Structure 1
Amino acid sequence: MARDNSSIKPTEAELTLLNILWKIGPATVRQIHESVSETQKTGYTTVLKILQIMHEKSLVIRDESNRAHVYAAANSEMQTQSSLIKDLIGKAFGGSTSKLVMRALGDSTSKQEIEDIRQLLDTLEK
């Protein structure tokens, strides 16, 4: 069962591993390492150590029933993103969601993204 880890903020390295777990689902250290190695040079033991730290922080859960431990994200991608955004809004934008949105929209937003945002706003107004 996922815990509320909203006060625990993953580091950049931890987010990299979480993104892999959200993409491929529960995986062994070897599988995660292979995925990480596609985009960056990282040692197997480094990935293992980061996962162990993430387990201690309750960012991942670990199935120890097999020889190769299987790791899975403790919280969904959406839960983690929401927690990080709330933290960012509070720290960088003085608690103002509109300041965050205006800043984000001012930075090279594509026409498709604007259309997606417009549809979201229409849904939220209903």
Structure 2
Amino acid sequence: MKVSKTEKNLPEPTKAELEILQVLWEFGPSTVRFVNDKLNAQRDVNYTSTLKQMQILTEKGILKRDESQMKHIYIPVEDESKTKDQLLDRFVNTLYKGSASSLVMQLLGNNKTSKDDIEKIKKLLNNFDK
């Protein structure tokens, strides 16, 4: 099964940029200070680093900035699921030649898949058959 391309391909965010996006998806439109505070709960991040990354994300078209208020508010352009779908498409196309089944087989064969996970996967597959 080949994985289809998404209609609008945004540039691929870096790991650090994805951390910023995760904060924005979880908490909604936010200031740089808010995002930086949330990132600092996980690891030390300089405010200026967060600011620069959010400016780069804006230049890439991944974020937009609302300048209508005194504090600039940053907003993701795409929702979380659409971005994850796009990243997953790229991942599967690059590493598994577009074969989602190859990815699933690798995941299931890594001895880290719990019985609970396998049951959830079975239920999901059964729903596809209906």
TM-score, with structure 2 as normaliser: 0.89
- Which ranges in structure 1 are unaligned for 5 or more consecutive residues? none
| Superposition misfits of 4+ residues, deviation over 2 angstroms | 4-7
State percent identity of aligned pairs.
38
- The equivalent of 1:110 in structure 2 is 114
Out of 37, 41, 44, the residue aligned to residue 34 of structure 1 is 37
Deviations 1:71-123 (A, max 9, x none): 11111111111111111111101111110111112231122222221121111
Residue 47 of structure 2 is matched in structure 1 by 44
1:25-104 correspondence to structure 2 within 5 Å: 25-104=28-107
For residue 27 of structure 1, give the secondary structure of its aligned residue in structure 2: coil
Q: Distance in 1 between matches of 2:93 and 2:8?
A: 17
Q: 1: distance between equivalents of 2:43 and 2:123?
A: 36
Is the contact made by 2:66 and 2:73 (CA closer than 8 Å) also made in structure 1? yes
Q: Secondary structure at the match of 2:74?
A: strand
How far has the Cα of 1:7 moved from its partner?
Answer: 4.2
Q: CA deviation at 1:6?
A: 2.2
1:42-64 alpha-carbon deviations (Å, 9 max, x no partner): 10010000000000111112111
CA distance in structure 1 between the partners assigned to 2:8 and 2:30 by the alignment: 21
Q: Please point out which of 7, 10, 21 is paired with 2:24.
A: 21
Residues 1:55 and 1:5: Cα distance change in structure 2 (over 3 Å): farther
Instruction: Give the secondary structure class of the aligned counterpart of 1:40.
Output: coil
